[in-house]
Amino acid sequence: MQWQTLEYFVENKVATITLNRPPMNPFNKQLYMEFFQLLEKIEEDDQVKAVIITGKGEKAFGAGADITEMMKLDAEEVARMGVASRRATERIESLSKPVIAAIHGLALGGGCELALACDLRICSEKAKFGLPEINLGIIPGGGGTQRLQRLIGQARAKELMYFGEIIPAAQAYAYGIVNQVVPVEELMNRANEWALKLAEKPSVAMKMLKVAVNRGAGTELNTALDLETACFGNAFVSEDRNEGMTAFAEKRKPQFVGR
């Protein structure tokens, strides 16, 4: 399948998706739709065990919505774009495979929201983050108002969204938005190192771990613990659990098969 707004390749069980609308990689309906379709393809590909998302060029991971295009839309068309955005970001969260955002340059608006939907975020020292929609007379509409406060707490999230200011990588790390900050030249190498390590983990357990954490975060504790118990049970009956425990007892490296 040919992608007009994305680049895609798979190597060593790691899929890399590159937002391909340089120099700023703005988001439009087509990008969101292609993103969702590609994630569906990845879900069905047993050869892919981990995913990296990044942006093309040096200026931006994703600098937000395509404002020039957005200004031409009526309310109904904007609503359809919102649906496409939500489907894409929710598909990242529901993907059975771990997803790493490798962020350089600007991650603003929709770009920041896409990164927030990923499991892990690594950024370069030159990365900048923000949800500046308030300055355009709108609010974040791609999950930012909900995911950011769940990640860093309501007070910090309100500060960033109410003022609409853009913060540097070091501040994003201090707030807990990103997991790690690295020199620009090391960004993709570090993202690939993490992805390769994750790709070697047992697939069933990884899927169950992601379900337990993501779905449990939005429920009260007893329900979340019930979910954890169910996910633990699913992992325990897998072939990989048997291999993992057997390998541990035999003091050898496990050979997981993804079942």
Portion of the chain with pLDDT greater than 70, in percent: 100
- What integer is the mean pLDDT of 223-230? 96
CA distances from 73 to 81, 82, 119, 139, 236 (A): 9, 12, 32, 17, 50
- What integer is the mean pLDDT of 214-241? 94
Q: CA quadruple 139, 212, 43, 50: dihedral positive or negative?
A: positive
**Which amino acid is present at 222?**
N
- What integer is the mean pLDDT of 213-231? 94
For residue 34, indicate whether it is catalytic: no
Torsion of CA 187, 191, 99, 126, to 10 degrees: -10
pLDDT value of position 1 = 67
Q: For each of the domains in the chain, give its residue range(s) and CATH number, in order of start.
A: 6-199 (3.90.226.10), 203-250 (1.10.12.10)
User: Buried b / exposed e across 61-86, counting CB within 10 Å, b at 16+?
Assistant: bbbbbbeeebeeeeeeeeeebeebbb
For residue 90, indicate whether it is catalytic: no
Catalytic residue among 69, 125, 133, 185: 133
Catalytic residue among 43, 113, 125, 228: 113
- pLDDT tens profile 59-118: 999 998 888 888 888 888 888 888 999 999 999 999 999 999 999 999 999 999 999 999
pLDDT value of position 218 = 82
pLDDT at residue 32 is higher than 90: yes
pLDDT value of position 195 = 98
- pLDDT tens profile 147-204: 999 999 999 999 999 999 999 999 999 999 999 999 999 999 999 999 999 999 999 9
CA distances from 164 to 101, 132, 139, 160 (A): 22, 4, 10, 6
